Amino acid sequence: MTATKLRQLIESEDTEFLMEAHSPLSARIAEESGFKALWASGLSISASLGVSDRNEASWTEVLGIVEAMADRVSVPILMDGDSGFGNFNNVRRVVRHMSKAGVAGICLEDKLFPKANSFVDGPQELASVEEFRGKIMAAKDSQLDPDFVVVARTEALICGAGRDEALCRANRYDEAGADAILIHSKQAHAGEIMEFARRWERRRPLIIVPTTYSQTPTDVFKTAGIACVIWANHSVRASVSAMRRITSIIHERAYAGDLDHDICTVDDIFRLTNEYEVRDAERRYLAPGTVG
Ligand code: SPV
Ligand code: MG
């Protein structure tokens, strides 16, 4: 059901937008903002755990969070599966668990395990095409829902392997059964992404992550036939800025009395966490006269 929703979004004619989430709370907020699907970002989940985006968090830790997110929203979640948390065998186990947890799809990238974030300095190494094709096939063969979405992400441009290599890899991953291709870039403009999209000719839905080229107007992506745009880290970055600002003000002043207009109400937290639904449920289920 949730996988079907994600598949429909990815395969629709329109350009769709996925918002990053890294916790059940951020997932609820993104859903309330109107996003029809969410990106369970490896970077953001790692950051919220206070660890590096280098598979420092185990896949069971990550899945635990994504599972809790799926439990709290009705929009589908595409999980960042990094490079698969190991080899094809790890991919199979992760995909089976994710399918059971109601996660709609996984994105696998063609780097080695442990991976590093695409934007960190230093050399980044690509996995061999054959090894990565095996992971794509293993993921497709392990999904429990026929609509589960497997996105193959090539890091060829990130690793400096060039545009022809990126296109060649995307073709090979498409042949291996990927449902969509994610082409990642760390350029400050959308040049190489646009060229890729032109040469790809809408063979399979194309997904992009405009973090470094966020200045590009969205219409450019629409005209290029991009299936999905992922805002991959904006929620965690927004929360870091807001938390840092408010906590430092409170620390400096030892006073919080004039900040209420700047932070959400406690009532808002109650609403986001279903407090009022539980209160209503108590009336129905708790024995009369019982408290709590
Ligand atoms: C993530 O959100 O973890 C991603 C996208 O993989 S990026 O950080 O741009 O590599
Ligand atoms: Mg990631």
Q: Which atom of ligand 1 is nearest to the CA of 53?
A: 3
Nearest ligand to residue 158 Cα: 1
Tokens of residue 103, six digits: 């996660």
Kindly report, residue by residue over 109-161, the tens digit of the pLDDT.
999 999 999 999 988 899 999 999 999 999 999 999 999 999 999 999 999 99
Q: Which atom of ligand 1 is nearest to the CA of 232?
A: 2
Distance from residue 38's CA to the centre of ligand 2 (Å) = 14
Nearest ligand to residue 115 Cα: 2
Q: How far apart are CA 68 and CA 25, in angstroms?
A: 10
Q: What is the pLDDT of residue 221?
A: 98
Q: Is 233 in the pocket of ligand 1 (CB under 6 A)?
A: yes
Distance from residue 82's CA to the centre of ligand 1 (Å) = 9
Q: What is the pLDDT of residue 289?
A: 83
Q: What is the pLDDT of residue 123?
A: 86
117: number of Cβ within 10 Å = 16
Could you give the C-alpha distances from 56 to 11, 106, 184, 235, 290, in angstroms and in order?
33, 19, 22, 21, 46
Total number of residues shown for the chain: 292
**Angle formed at CA 67 by CA 9 and CA 106, multiple of 5 degrees:** 45
Q: What is the pLDDT of residue 1?
A: 83
Distance from residue 123's CA to the centre of ligand 1 (Å) = 17
Mutate to test the pocket of ligand 1, among 108, 118, 183, 207 (most ligand atoms within 8 A of CB): 118
Q: What is the pLDDT of residue 160?
A: 95
Q: Running along the chain, 292 residues long, what does each successive block of 10 average in pLDDT?
A: 96 97 98 98 98 98 97 98 98 97 97 96 94 98 98 98 98 98 98 98 97 98 98 98 98 96 97 95 91 68
Q: What is the pLDDT of residue 291?
A: 72
CA-closest residue to ligand 1 atom 10:
118
Q: Which atom of ligand 1 is nearest to the CA of 43?
A: 3
Q: How far apart are CA 126 and CA 109, in angstroms?
A: 9
Q: What is the pLDDT of residue 292?
A: 63
CA-closest residue to ligand 1 atom 7:
118
Quickly list H helices, the chain: 2-11, 24-33, 42-49, 59-72, 88-100, 129-142, 163-175, 191-200, 218-223, 234-253, 266-272, 275-285
Nearest ligand to residue 213 Cα: 1
Q: Is 212 in the pocket of ligand 1 (CB under 6 A)?
A: no
CA-closest residue to ligand 1 atom 2:
41
Q: Which atom of ligand 1 is nearest to the CA of 46?
A: 3
